[in-house]
Each structure stands twice: as C-alpha cells, then as structure tokens.
Amino acid sequence: MANEVRWLTLVYKVPAEPARIRAMVWRRLRSLGAVYLQDGIAALPASAAAERALRALQREIASLEGTGYLLASDVLAGQAEICSVYNQARDEEYSEILGRCADFEAEIARELAALHLTYAELEENDEDLAKLKSWLAKVQARDVLGASEAAKAAEAVARCEAALDAFSAAVYEAEGST
C-alpha cells in the first residue's frame, strides 16, 4: 500500500505575530491528521475531503497575510518513511485513547466499589463513553494507512462500553430497590 499513496502537501508561511495564527494553523492541521515533513510543510494522504480542508486552510492562510501552496504529489523517494511518520501519529492518538479508556474503566470500578450507583453517575459516565467513541471514530477516519494500535484502541473502547453496561445494570438494580 505504501507505494500507492498519493499525498497532498501544504507548504505555508505565516507571519510570526500574532502567534495565534501559527497556533491556529497547527491545530487545524493536527485535527486533519496531517504530519509535518519540515517546518511549514505538512502532508496528508490524498482524498477529496482532505483536499477540501487543505484548500480552505490555504485560503485562510492567504487571508491572514501568509502564503500557502497546496501540492498533489507522488513520493519518488522516502514513501515508507512518510507513511511510517503518518502511522506513528495515529498510533500516538490511539495510545492517548488507550490511556483514557484505562482511566474510564478505573473510574467505573471505583464507582462500583463505593456503591455510587446513581442515575447522575450513570449519565456522567455515559457522556464520557460517548466522547471516547467519538474520539475513536475521528482517529479511525484519519487512519487511512492502517496504524498498528487501531485494534487495541477499538477493543479498549468496547471494554469501556461493557463496563458501562455492567455499571448501568447495577444502577438500575440499586434504583429499583430504593
């Protein structure tokens, strides 16, 4: 697959001040899943959605007195390295999800042990699970090259869902007996 990947590359320069512009561009690129090849050069696997997002960002950079060029390219040398950097970025995101899942499961265990079996606790934990699921879906959508931690993260979120199901059963039982 690595040989087949086409890339969109945004080459840009923004004014040093105000710093919020640089931060905005960095956050936007990060949310898209782009990886930096060097300062001011970010790449994403080519797709229609990525192109729309990068074109919009390029126009925004230009409107902020910066310069930006969006290139569609094939990598003649270094494709495996770029793919590796891209997958490493996804694996870092998946690792963050794994950490949050461990925290979620520990929180459920604490609530059960302390018998905090209320609808308020259930609602709070349900919201936390919804955030985890949404975050996982966003990373999976960016993970077009198949990062190695994807399955672990999906399994961890599934364990969180099972833990919440068990917690909700305990809450329903406790609330029904009062």
* Structure token digits, residue 10: 């945004």
Crossing angle of helices 150-176 and 119-142, rounded to 10°: 160
CB of 125 closer than 8 Å to CB of 164:
yes
What CA–CA distance (Å, rounded) separates 156 from 173? 26
* pLDDT confidence of residue 3: 57
Residue 1 is predicted with a pLDDT of 46
Residue 178: the pLDDT is: 56
Query: pTM value?
Result: 0.88
**Which phi and psi angles does 138 have, rounded to 5°?**
-65, -45
**What is the chain's pLDDT, residue by residue, as a tens digit (178 residues)?**
445 899 999 999 999 899 999 999 999 999 999 999 999 999 999 999 999 999 999 999 999 999 999 999 999 999 999 999 999 999 999 999 999 999 999 999 999 999 999 999 999 999 999 999 999 999 999 999 999 999 999 999 999 999 999 999 999 999 886 5
Residue 168 and residue 108 in contact, taking contact as beta carbons nearer than 8 Å: no
